[in-house]
Amino acid sequence: MKTPPLVTPGPALTVAEVRRYSRHLIIPDVAMAGQQRMMNAKVLCVGAGGLGSPALMYLAAAGIGTLGIVEYDTVDESNLQRQIIHGQSDIGKSKAQSAKEKIAEINPYVNVITHETRLDNSNVMEIFSQYDIIVDGTDNFATRYLVNDACVLLKKPYVWGSIYRFDGQASVFWTEYGPCYRCLYPEPPPPGMVPSCAEGGVLGVLCATIGSIQTTEAIKVLTGVGEPLIGSLMVYDALDMSFRKIKVRKDPNCPLCSDNPTQTALLPDYEAFCGVLSDAAQEASAGSTITVQELKSKIDAKENYYLIDVREPSEYEIVKIPTAHLIPKQGFIDGSVLATLPQDRPIILHCKSGVRSAECLAILKDAGFSDASHVFGGVVAWAKQIDTSLPVY
């Protein structure tokens, strides 16, 4: 769907700016007016990670006048495989500050505003109100629903992207002209059903593909050039090198953007709405959770237990806890491993951080393994607190 330009043109370009943006200026559809719109635009990027990195770099190179960055995290070595706005010397540094420094190198004419805070109900409306369009580079459902709801309530266009392993998706949600994120995904998936990139991995270069699509869509919305992905979901498969465009229609019963919405304000708790753990996992974990220190004591005492690692084989190759047997989570979900588990000793489960093991624990408890337990913090806690020579991935 073609939309009118979101932003009015700004002041005339200087001679230096004409030189910098000359390849835009000679495109008839962009020309001087389009570049002036970009230079007059205020774009907020939520996150300076995998998707935020290419988006911020190309938005800066394009000449966006004001770039906002919402980011509270610091640069970790594991980020560098895909978060190309950061480098080796930035490890331990604020991601927002690291990104700001790189943007200054790319284009000193861009005004960068950093919001070094966790986005939540208390600040999202105030932060978003300062910008024309929101580009979402987050990787969790709670923040995505928060961003969507704030954009709908503020009538802001929302450029969304998602990545996982070899697959990516992108769309533009703008309820003035089409559906919102809730129309596509009315409810979040059950807790533990969809792994995060930290659990399942992502091909680093996939971030560049989807982040560049998000940047393209933001520029199209700002300048009124072309037809943005409003009402369409772009699906990318890197293994097949294929793109598919799927029609997304506005849900007439959407609780947020329909003609008669039942939700007219932000939800009180988006973490609760998405659920970090299912109710069953939380119930199973109560009184059946041990620390890595307690596990270490059991290992040292040579207690009679059966330790199961429910991660994937590729994760097991990276780092493992001594005595652990690899049985991936899927075997618990489909029930195929239950008959093979020992009945004569307690079962202890662990995963990377404790989420998947808690979900598997609920399945075991339901199957009658009443003395089963799981390890809080998983292999990450083990590598940080017990054996610091092990890598944290």
Beta bridge partners of 246: 233
Left if phi > 0, otherwise alpha if psi is -120 to 50, otherwise beta: which for 27? Answer: beta
CA pair distance 228, 220, nearest whole angstrom: 6
Half-sphere exposure of 296 (CA within 13 A, CB side): 12
Task: Find, among 194, 199, 188, the residue nearest to 310 by Cα.
Answer: 199
Let me know: does 252 contact 166? Beta carbons within 8 Å.
Answer: no
* Catalytic residue check, 45: no
Angle at 102 between CA 98 and CA 104, to 5 degrees: 120
Let me know: does 195 contact 19? Beta carbons within 8 Å.
Answer: no
**Which of 183, 197, 254, 360 does the annotation list as catalytic?**
197
**Which of 45, 180, 254, 351 does the annotation list as catalytic?**
351
Beta bridge partners of 289: 374
The first and second tokens of residue 60, run together, are 């800066």
Angle at 58 between CA 57 and CA 59, to 5 degrees: 95
* Catalytic residue check, 197: yes
CA pair distance 369, 366, nearest whole angstrom: 7
Contacts 24+ apart (CB under 8 A), 8-11: 8/37, 8/40, 9/33, 9/36, 9/37, 9/40, 10/36, 10/37, 10/39, 10/40, 10/65, 11/36, 11/39, 11/40
Q: Which residues are catalytic?
A: 197, 351
